[in-house]
Chain A
Amino acid sequence: MILNRENAVIELKDQTIKEYGGIEFQEIAFAQKINLRGNSNNKSFMTLQGKLLDAVLPTKSNTYTNNGKIKILWLGPNEWLIVDEDKKNNELFLKLEKSDSHEESAITDVSENRTIIRIRGKKIFNLLAKFLVIDLDKNLSNDSSVVQTLFVKVPIILVRNNSNVVEIDLYVNRSHANYVYNLLVDGTKNLDF
């Protein structure tokens, strides 16, 4: 059990929302995250997990599904990340662990691995383009897009939350969170180019 948990980004303590250059930053700390492994071609695995989670495991690359409570991100053809933002404890993990899971699957609680930096604003793509080489218009085109890539050599996951006002969740390991955050804040200068 972990006591006295601290969020990762120093400037975003206690769910503070900071705004720089028209872009809002917020940390979604302590969200429950579970890594799920299994074979997507195995029907019984897919149905069982779907029932347990009350959601569909995405099989299309670089997408996620959202049932209103949890998000399931595609990480690979046999790997998913289950994210529950509301759960600040490991309830979901315990539920999955107790259930008769499929024999050829594995779950790992990775909640403490990454934190989520939520960024919102019109010029997000201009900001991210300063650090990323991926084609943002193509890879983050709609509200079911997920991208795993590198942010100045730090592995990150980008999740687009909605299609109108652009809101993107940036998943980054806790130890790199301040580094990524500081770079992003610095990047909010001169966004009109």
Chain B
Amino acid sequence: MFLINCPYCGEREQSEFSCGGEAHISRPKNPPDTSDDQWADYLFMRKNIKGVQFERWNHSSGCRQWFNVVRNTSTDEILGIYNMGEAIPEIDGENPKTPSGEPEIGSGNISTSFKKK
């Protein structure tokens, strides 16, 4: 559990919100011209960063508005909140190094993590 500062309602409990996954994924401009691989990439492929991740959140049990959150997924520290359509803010800091040398992207388990061709 952690608190999220809704840009409209102020600080509220995380349980009032729902996470809408990775932010800043734009629909290909011309779908007929995209290959199956590109389309699948747009539809399904998401980063799963251990560290600083840009996400969309919705205050579903409050004002029902969408906004962007910069969250460190390993500490749940919220590093920034900004409105939809706004430019990606610059965030300082490095992703934490893990002792076992896990990849920065993936489930944390090398044997099951997705590798692109």
Residues of A within 8 A of B (CB): 61-62, 75-77, 79, 133-135, 138-139, 148-150, 155
Contact = CB atoms under 8 A, between A and B. Distances in A.
Q: What bracket does the count of chain B residues touching chain A fall in?
A: 10 to 19
Contacts of B10: 61-62, 138-139
B63 A148 contact: yes
Interface stretch (B11-19, B89-97, B109-117): B11-19
Contacts, number: 37
Given A61-B9, A62-B9, A76-B8, A150 B15 contact: yes
B100 interface: no
Which has the most chain A C-beta neighbours within 10 Å: B12, B16, B62? B62
Nearest to A154: B61
Interface of B: 8-13, 15-16, 61-65
Contact of A76 (B13, B15, B64): B64
A77 B63 contact: yes
A150 B8 contact: no
Given A77-B63, A79-B64, A148-B63, 15 more contacts: A61-B9, A76-B63, A76-B64, A76-B65, A77-B8, A79-B63, A134-B13, A135-B11, A139-B10, A148-B62, A149-B12, A149-B62, A150-B15, A150-B16, A155-B61
